[in-house]
Amino acid sequence: MTEGKLNSVQEFYKDKTVFITGGSGFMGKVLIEKLLYSCSDLKELIVLMRPKRGKTAMQRVEDFSKLALFKRIMEEKPEVMKKIVPVWGEITQQDLGLNDEHLNHVVKNTQIVFHFAASLKLEATLKQNVLINLTGTKHVLKMARQMKNLVQMVHLSTAFCCEDIEVLEERVYDHPHNPYDLIRCAEWMSEEAMAAMQPDILGSQPNTYTYTKRLSEVLVRDQYSNEKLPVLIVRPSIVSPSFKEPVPGWVDSLNGPPGILLAAGKGVLRSMLINPDGLIEAIPVDACINGILTLTKHVATEKRSEEIPVFNATIHESRRITNGQMFDYAKELGDLYPVSGGLWYPDGSITQNVYVHKVKTFFFQWLPAYFIDFMLLCFGQKRFMVYVQKRIATGLEVLQFFTMRKWNFKSDSFNGLIAQQMPDEYDMFLFDSQYVGDDWEYLKNSMLGARQYCVKEPLSTLPRARLQNKIQYGVHVTCKLLFWYFFISFLLRMTGLMDPISDFVDSLTSAISRNNSSIVTLNTM
């Protein structure tokens, strides 16, 4: 089905049956699209799906064809969509909740497994993330051991899983906690009981997401060492919108940078705790997926290593920009490509000072939120602004652990594969961070992508959004001047300096008036 001669990556996936968990997520959908488009000669893609919003697994897959992500497939080779085989299941259940027919099919035919399913909620409770990230991984590993023709399994982790490691190397780090103990606790303990234990269990770990992802790596390593399971671990940094494939700026998740940009663009996020000198640790989703497909083929066709292969999927140091640079770009682009329906002009700021941040959020986020909700209450409308600010505050409290520190990831194995790519592989499965190009252009496409694909605002709405932005700017400047006028006046009155200043101004005015009178008298003489 693929035209012309196949390169070695395409040849590896030819006639293979691939099993994917997390296929409905941001990275999962990009993985499915890339496999179908560039590795069209694969046999089938078995995708574990959960019925959602009253839709069956098949209906959810059919919805893929309506996404801009799958546009090039629908235009050039729509027949490959038939290779998607959705199976109804849930990773937290034994045998992934598959019925006997699907279970037998998966175990008998699967050759490659991509385990992408995970809970990405940083604020989730310990039990919630243990059930999905640990118990779910345990179930997938158990099924992988039963697969008679398994060639390679890929476990998706995160580069932020080891906050206590100063320089994260490409290996699995030990942890004093036993993941199997946590799994057993989650099976019989109540949500409240585990929540009570959560602070002591987490210790210095900032959230349950990174904690459970680190322990899941221990589970995977044990299966590689003890059961000889052909599995590898990939640790992406923040996965950002696509640079090139299948369309520039594609994103459908508000996790991470897109959500922050949109919240700031709507005017509801006015301040963030960020180290302006820290480097942005993000990799475009298409570069990450291309790298994963390439390294999967590489590991599967090389001699088995003694230690489990681990790859930190991060961009090269030379391509990283600072948080401050990104913020400056975002402010300029926010005026050029504003979002519609903003509540206020987007004039946010970043700071490292906790007290400055609290003052700004109090005056420019919380007070306006309560005022707007009060007005909505007066007019009999549903209140929502305080709720939005609470959600933002919760998210930022978790995020500041990542934005206020510097990270150091070693990615020699991941970036080292670039030099081993043949020219035809390099072009088709491009993950060289040098190719990302201009930072301004990439961020522009990312903002437009979040605008189009996340909040469903087509480019045709830009002229109206720009007009609204200009009006809001005028209102914003006026309100800002009035705020500082009344604030300074209040301080002067409280400190008793208002009267001396008023007397001085009166004296100065009188002097100027007398001087003008003298000049007039001289002129008439």
Query: Is residue 389 situated within a structural domain?
Result: yes
> Is 391 part of any domain?
yes
Domain total in the chain: 3
Q: What is the pLDDT of residues 217-246, one digit of tens each?
A: 999 999 998 889 999 999 999 898 999 889
Yes or no: say if 440 and 49 are a contact pair by the CB < 8 Å rule. Answer: no
Residues 95 and 149 in one domain: yes
Range of the domain at 506: 492-519
Please tell me the predicted confidence (pLDDT) of residue 511.
66
Tokens of 38: 């560039």
Per-residue confidence (pLDDT) for residue 250, from 0 to 100 = 92
* Mean pLDDT on 293-306: 93
Cβ atoms < 10 Å from Cβ of 20: 25
**For residue range 43-87, what is the model confidence (pLDDT) as tens digits?**
999 999 887 777 777 788 888 888 999 999 999 999 999 999 999
Task: Give the pLDDT confidence score for residue 505 in this predicted structure.
Answer: 64
Question: Quick one: pLDDT at residue 522?
Answer: 47
DSSP state of 120: -
Q: Are residues 331 and 412 in the same domain?
A: no
Does the residue 373 lie in any domain? yes
Exposure pattern of 471-508 as b/e (b: 16+ CB <10 Å)?
A: ebeeebeeeeeeeeeeeeeeeeeeeeeeeeeeeeeeee
Give a yes or no: residue 1 inside a domain: no
198, 309: one domain: yes
Q: Contact, 272 vs 396, CB < 8 A? A: yes
Q: Assess if residue 417 is contained within a domain.
A: yes
Q: Alpha-carbon distance 205 to 215, whole Å?
A: 12
User: Per residue in 355-388, pLDDT tens?
Assistant: 998 888 888 888 888 988 898 899 888 888 888 8
- The dihedral through the CA atoms of 404, 176, 203, 211 has a sign that is positive
Distance from C-alpha of 366 to C-alpha of 326, rounded to nearest angstrom: 26
Specify the DSSP element, H or E, that contains 188. helix 179-188
Residue 3 lies in a domain: no
Check: pTM over 0.75? Answer yes or no.
yes
Mean pLDDT of 260-275: 85
Q: Do 298 and 346 belong together in one domain?
A: no
**Spatial distance between the Cα atoms of 36 and 20, rounded to a whole number of angstroms:** 13
Taking residues 103-121, what's their average pLDDT? 94
CB 387 within 8 A of CB 376: no
Q: Check whether residue 329 and residue 339 sit in a common domain.
A: yes
Residues 443 and 365 placed together within one structural domain of the fold:
no
**In this predicted structure, what is the pLDDT of residue 30?**
96
Share of the chain above pLDDT 90, in %: 40
* Domain shared by 346 and 439, yes or no: no
pLDDT at 271 over 50: yes
Q: Where are the beta strands (DSSP E) in 104-261?
A: 112-115, 152-156, 231-236, 238-240
Give the integer Cα–Cα distance in Å for 125 and 202.
Answer: 11
Q: In this model, does residue 122 exceed pLDDT 90?
A: no
Same domain, 483 and 377: yes
Q: What CATH number did the domain enclosing 208 receive?
A: 3.40.50.720
Instruction: Evaluate whether residue 482 is within a structural domain.
Output: yes
Percent of the chain with pLDDT over 70: 92
Return the bridge partners of 20, or none.
Answer: 47, 114
Do 86 and 215 belong to one domain? yes
Checking phi first, is residue 53 left (phi over 0); if not, alpha (psi -120 to 50) or beta?
left
Q: What is the pLDDT of residues 172-194, one digit of tens each?
A: 999 999 999 999 999 889 989 99
Contact 502, 493 (CB under 8 A): no
416 and 476 in a common domain: no
At 425 the pLDDT is 86
Residue 318 confidence (pLDDT): 59
User: Do 98 and 127 belong to one domain?
Assistant: yes
Mean pLDDT, all residues of the chain: 87
Tell me, yes or no, whether 240 lies in a domain: yes
User: Cα(127)–Cα(189) distance, rounded to whole angstroms?
Assistant: 9
Instruction: Write the pLDDT tens digit of every residue in 8-28.
Output: 999 999 999 999 999 989 999
Residues 454 and 469 placed together within one structural domain of the fold: no
